[in-house]
Amino acid sequence: MSVSVGQFYEAGKENLSLELEYGGEYFSRHIPEQALNRPGLALTGFFQHFSHRRIQVIGLAESDYLQSLDAGTRLSRVRDVCRHDIPCILLSRGRRAMPEIREAAEEYHIPVMRSPMITSRLINAATLIMENLTAPTIRVQGTMVEIMGIGVLLQGPPGLGKSETALALIERGHSLVSDDVTVLHRDSEGFVIGSAVDVTRYHMEIRGLGIIHVPSLFGVSSMRNNMRLDLVIQMHPWDPAIEVDRTGLNSEKTDMMGVSVPLIRLPVAPGRDMAQVIEVAARNQKLKLLGHDAAKELDEKLVGILTRKAQA
């Protein structure tokens, strides 16, 4: 998946504190390779093996080297680099672009941005951002909510009340990530991250009401742009024939993009307060993440009592 300079800038604005020096109108330029490159040798005029398909980072060394040249040479060297169709130039340590960099960038329509970070940190952080931007995404049917820091994906056949349940959870102070269609991707740390499809973000459809704009009705805190996926809840109509885990000891998992995520199968019956049950499921999941498994602990306590009594 190819990433544009504009996408990189948007994604890195916060984490890298990016500021645009020049060239916002050329944000549609593509970044064909996700790694970053320091054009040290290229600036000396050596272009063999020059990774021109990557973001070019001008660090302290490049910057001081360029300063050591006279203005004319400086301009021609930067021009030579820009001529290789590089995606954009990224300056570290908050340094402003020298007039020659700007001139060459203007000539070849190359965006220039800067970050206050030192070069090594900047490259690490920018690489992570590029990895996230190029990570494969999938779309799954399901509504995603954030309940006290736990990302929960609600799945199940249409008409079972996934959106209504999400609405009830929002009313309880939790946040909506996406309604009905959730975009998932794996981040660089190996977590699955869910978000909404851009066009429909902040909206949900409630049968009988139509489309509503969630933050207008419930405030900004009712929405989250993305959230780590911690729990999948598979809702299904109440059916005595379907076996339900009554103890919670048999923790089931499901595969989401190669990551194993806890799965709970939840029967829906008329009058059952699904929002309440799901909130408790999320709390319980949080407890498990902290290392407490209530079902297991009760069972261990029982086994202790029972074996003592059996021996007596």
Partner 1 sequence: MKLLRKDAANDMVRKVEIINRLGIHARPASMFVKKAQEFSAEITVEKDKMKVDAKSIMGLLTLEGYMGAVLTLRAAGEDARQALDALEELVKNKFYED
Residue 225 DSSP SS3? coil
* Interaction site with partner 1 (CB under 8 A): 240, 243, 245-247, 249, 295, 298-299, 302-303, 305-310
Nearer to partner 1, 10 or 299 (CB): 299
Nearer to partner 1, 181 or 263 (CB): 263
**CA-to-CA separations, 90 to 62, 86, 117, 269, in angstroms, rounded:** 12, 11, 11, 56
Nearer to partner 1, 211 or 298 (CB): 298
Nearer to partner 1, 211 or 305 (CB): 305
Calculated CA dihedral for residues 163, 165, 169, 170, nearest 10 degrees: 30
Nearer to partner 1, 14 or 243 (CB): 243
Nearer to partner 1, 157 or 237 (CB): 237
Q: What are phi and psi of 113, to 5 degrees?
A: -135, 165
**CA-to-CA separations, 33 to 71, 130, 253, 300, in angstroms, rounded:** 31, 9, 35, 53
**Residue 303 CB, nearest distance to partner 1 (Å)?**
5
**Residue 298 CB, nearest distance to partner 1 (Å)?**
7
Residue 187 buriedness (CB in 10 A; 0-12 / 13-18 / 19+): middle
**Residue 308 CB, nearest distance to partner 1 (Å)?**
8
Strand partners of residue 230: none
Cβ proximity of 268 and 242 under 8 Å: no
Q: At what angle do helices 60-68 and 71-83 cross, to 10 degrees?
A: 130
**Residue 232 CB, nearest distance to partner 1 (Å)?**
22
**Residue 312 CB, nearest distance to partner 1 (Å)?**
9
Nearer to partner 1, 67 or 250 (CB): 250
Tokens 């005029």, residue? 45
**Residue 33 CB, nearest distance to partner 1 (Å)?**
53
Cβ proximity of 180 and 206 under 8 Å: no
E strand or H helix that includes residue 266: strand 259-268
Nearer to partner 1, 48 or 250 (CB): 250
**Residue 285 CB, nearest distance to partner 1 (Å)?**
19
Cβ proximity of 266 and 256 under 8 Å: no
**Residue 133 CB, nearest distance to partner 1 (Å)?**
46
Nearest to 245 by CA among 285, 300, 298, 295: 295
Nearest to 235 by CA among 167, 140, 161: 161
